Amino acid sequence: MSTKSALDAEGLAASVREFLREHDPLATDRLEFLRARFDAGLAWVYYPEGHGGLGLDPALQPEIDALFAAAGAPDNRPELNFIGLNLAAPTILRFGTTEQKQRWLRPLWTGEELWCQLFSEPGAGSDLANVGTSAKADGDGWVVNGQKVWTSLAHQADWAILVARTDPAQPKHKGLSYFICGMHDPGVDVRPLRQITGESEFNEVYLDDVPIAGDQLLGELGQGWAVANHTLMNERVAIGAGTIPRENGTIGALARTWRSRPELRRPGLHDQVLRFWVEAEAARLTAERLRQQQAAGLPGPEGSGAKLTYSRLNQQISSFELELLGAEGLRYTDYTARRPVIVADYAEESAGWRFLRAKGNSIEGGTSDIMRNIIAERVLGLPAEARADKDIPWKDLPR
């Protein structure tokens, strides 16, 4: 840590102690405490002043969170608002007006308002630029019609980040705009999609003449592709950071099983466990560096590598865990239809659940094939794939 960072850390720690003296976490209403923490700039300390932060080094955030946790302070339950905190907030910060930041960032961070993501469609998943959901001008606002799929936790959300087509006469990448959509507005219909695990963590969402106010356009009209890419880069870093902290997720579950169940340790398996542990630790350290880059507002295409590694490791480790457990690992007894209200913690679920749920890791947040294309083109600088549809008006493309 540099001398300047050390001084910042010392001053910040003093600010936290002063804040805790003025706002006793054990005697203050939870929501009142969180709002005061945001207003003091101690929410995201790396965000600008007035928007929950103090404009400091992102590396200081874990230290501040630890000080609050040690004092018994309530957190903002990040497991309930993964999309809001990791995708919507940095996008609003980067592209939002002052009024939009003031309107949405504070209740987003405190957890008063939960968010989801309306991007993918039945005909536009990996090829997101092909979205057909329309947003047509209506007075000072827009009216939206279309269908979105794979929308995690839409049944809990108050707001959504939405990509829609505002100009079908433009090529597909140029005719998109980015909106904030109210999930409780008339015309929004959320329907569960049942997964291989039995639960309905995500949904399909039908939008039927949904009104969007004029001040809910994020970025400029027609800038949707650029804004969406910023969101997606943040998403891939956030997903790739699933190995944080050390021994989190599938590798943590495997390590605990290996240590606590000596009867399962067959010859030749120890080296494989060690290889997985080393790979997961390397991925964790890489993801931590990318998280700091993301916090500084600079998520890059490198996040695709972290996301790709996370998906591969989750699938390989969960498969190995099932082999280790033998017949015991094949038992999966809870296939009841249920609606989770949080993003599941892999470490708290059964081995069978981890194995089944990991199959989706190479699809969600961008397929592994798309991640490889991004790495090839934007990280390694290899020639892009030939695309015949990039300059044709979207309305003229075959569908």
Q: CA-to-CA distance for 253 and 275, rounded, in angstroms?
A: 15
Q: Which domains does the chain have, with CATH numbers?
A: 18-75 (no CATH), 115-222 (2.40.110.10), 227-379 (1.20.140.10)
pLDDT by position in tens, the chain (length 399) = 444 455 477 889 999 999 999 999 999 999 999 999 999 999 999 999 999 999 998 889 888 999 999 999 999 999 889 999 999 999 999 999 999 999 999 999 999 999 999 999 998 877 888 999 999 999 999 999 999 999 988 999 999 999 999 999 999 999 999 999 999 999 999 999 998 888 898 899 999 999 999 999 999 999 999 999 889 887 766 666 655 678 888 899 999 999 999 999 988 899 999 999 999 998 888 877 777 666 666 666 777 788 888 899 999 999 999 999 998 888 877 788 888 877 666 777 889 989 998 998 888 777 888 888 878 887 888 888 777 778 899 888 887
Q: CA-to-CA distance for 121 and 217, rounded, in angstroms?
A: 20
Return the exposure string of 363-374: e unless at least 16 CB atoms fall within 10 Å of the residue's CB, then b.
Answer: bbbbebebbebb
Q: Which of 156, 160, 150 is nearest to 88 (CA)?
A: 160
Report pLDDT for 2: 44
Q: Which of 199, 201, 235, 288 is catalytic?
A: 235
Q: CA-to-CA distance for 97 and 214, rounded, in angstroms?
A: 12
Are the C-beta atoms of residues 93 and 47 closer than 8 Å to each other? Answer: yes
Three-point CA angle 312, 365, 305, nearest 5°: 50
Q: What is the dihedral of CA 316, 320, 322, 323, to 10 degrees?
A: 140
Give yes or no: 235 in active site.
yes
